[in-house]
Structure 1
Amino acid sequence: MSATDRRNVLTPEALAMMDTIARTGSFAAAARDMGKVPSALTYSVRQLEDALDVLLFDRGSRQATLTAAGHELLNEGRRLLQEIDAVANRVRRVATGWETELTIAVDDALARRALFDLIAAFYELRVEDGGSVPTRIKLRNEVMSGTWEALISGQADLAIGTGASNVQSSAVHSEPLGELDFVFCVAPHHPLADVAEPLTLAQMAQHRIVAVADTARTLDAMTIGVMPGQDVLTLPSMAAKLEAQLRGLGCGSIPEPMVRRHVEAGRLRIKATESGRRSANLHYSWRNTGHPPGRALAWWLQQLGSAATRKALVEQHEGLLL
């Protein structure tokens, strides 16, 4: 038989029949359980065997004894039936307004501990039938302009940590998230650690700066704090930047909540500069589709409407893993 013929025979009904025969122990008992005559089950099993070109039951046994191939089909069949049920449940819940998938672009400078607290709370939600929410969450880690680009390009449904300069668009709704302060810091063994403050631009330019690459691909990428001719170590994440500066591989500005415990422990020193501290006014943004948001997006927007949640996303860096 062709692959199409095998698929036509290998139906959910056929898999359920196999499960019933194995559970009851005989064709006769399975027929009674299914309200059919034994010959109908025998015929269906033979169709399966012909289609797969295998023996599923030991013909030399008086009981319905599965062969090795029969055991494999039974195990895989049970798994497939569970997946079919799961898909049916998911489709039914999506029909009630839950999105199939929600993609969230998150700026790398925000606190991951607070973010994962939100994800955990989302997965604890229960829908009308008592099941879990059917929406799959997909996170995108972005840096600077990349967070905004992910949203306006349609690659994300919600962007957390968009810059104030990005949010002027009628195609997007934006709300303030909070202000994030950055501090210039170095390791205690870095050459700038004992230089008198405030550091001048000329003094800083003589030393390697650690930067995180903007993830924008089509928008103009941003570069902050890098001076002409300065040596640059470019890394993919804020966590990597922090590790590099803890090792004394360079200097640079990092969100103050992210370095607070390292400063208190003496692993980093904050240095005042002649340009002063930098701060970023961050927002959370979502596309203006002209329709009410789906239930998953609505839940996230409700959480972000809480001042405590917004503060945690900016401040709660204590659990950062390096």
Structure 2
Amino acid sequence: GFPGRFTPQHTARLLQVLREHFPTCQIAITTEVYNGVWDSLINNQADIAIGAPDTLLDGGGIDYIEIGMIRWLFAISPAHPLAFIPEPISESQLRLYPNIMVEDTANTINKKVGWLLHGQESILVPDFNTKLQCQILGEGIGFLPDYMVREAMEKSLLVTRQIHNPRQDSRMLLATRHSASGQVTQWIKREFSLQGILTGIYQDLMHRA
């Protein structure tokens, strides 16, 4: 299971590396969001999750190691009304505009809600790429991973603004089913070490402590 904030390019590179090292292994990659990652592990729908969110679940026979942090930036269209008011932007001002939210894919455990103010309208979308495009079009507001925002800012598609109570960094985990102890799992764990191959693939997405 892979959370939706990872890009198709990174997933394709992961697949390429796995096939190079394990040419006879049958690989199936799915995308899950927030607690949907844990849901897929608990219900035996996935053996390994890269980028599981830091909402640790008791039991379930799941092992995990920290692989990095996602940093969030509040980003809006340059034409959005909030782009023209003083910073930090107050919650009363933010509440006037819908929050573009990626929907948690969990089915059997509680869904996680990202950043949302009390009384604020939310628009649910299936993944972070859709959320990005909606915010570029000015259809709503919200936090995005910093790597997405940087790319959009280089093209003058988004601007960042300071708000009261910004979203904190999110710890990302490599989670594996305890019963999945084969060569592939062990290799993936090893290659997320500091100088590992997989750390290199994802280094532009996640910050290391």
- Check whether TM > 0.5: yes
Structure 2 segments unaligned to the other structure (5+ residues): none
TM alignment of 1:21-170, pairs within 5 A: 105-125=1-21, 133-166=23-56, 168-169=58-59
With the length of structure 1 as denominator, give the TM-score of the two structures. Answer: 0.59
**How far 1:195 moved relative to its partner?**
1.4
TM alignment of 1:1-322, pairs within 5 A: 105-125=1-21, 133-166=23-56, 168-169=58-59, 171-289=61-179, 293-307=181-195, 309-310=198-199, 312-313=201-202, 315-316=204-205
**How far 1:314 moved relative to its partner?**
5.6
* Whole-angstrom CA distance in 1 between matches of 2:167 and 2:47: 32
* Whole-angstrom CA distance in 2 between matches of 1:182 and 1:216: 22
Query: Alignment partner of 1:296: what SS?
Result: helix
* Whole-angstrom CA distance in 1 between matches of 2:14 and 2:186: 13
Distance 1:258 1:312, change over 3 A: farther
**How far 1:204 moved relative to its partner?**
0.6
Q: Is the 8 A contact 1:114 1:316 kept in 2?
A: no
CA offsets 1:38-83 (integer angstroms, 9 cap, x no match): xxxxxxxxxxxxxxxxxxxxxxxxxxxxxxxxxxxxxxxxxxxxxx
Structure 1 segments unaligned to the other structure (5+ residues): 1-104, 127-132, 318-322
* Whole-angstrom CA distance in 1 between matches of 2:200 and 2:115: 25
**How far 1:305 moved relative to its partner?**
2.8
Amino acid paired to 2:192: L
Distance 1:281 1:307, change over 3 A: farther
Q: Is the 8 A contact 2:73 2:146 kept in 1?
A: yes
Percent of pairs with identical residues: 24
1 or 2 for the larger relative contact order (CA 8 Å, sep ≥6)?
A: 2
Amino acid paired to 1:304: F
* Whole-angstrom CA distance in 2 between matches of 1:312 and 1:240: 23
* Whole-angstrom CA distance in 1 between matches of 2:195 and 2:77: 34
Amino acid paired to 1:176: E
What root-mean-square deviation, in Å, do the aligned CA atoms of Structure 1 and Structure 2 show?
Answer: 2.1
**How far 1:312 moved relative to its partner?**
4.0
Q: How many residues align?
A: 205
* Whole-angstrom CA distance in 2 between matches of 1:208 and 1:221: 20
Q: Is the 8 A contact 1:179 1:314 kept in 2?
A: no
Distance 1:279 1:216, change over 3 A: same
With the length of structure 2 as denominator, give the TM-score of the two structures. Answer: 0.89
**How far 1:118 moved relative to its partner?**
2.0
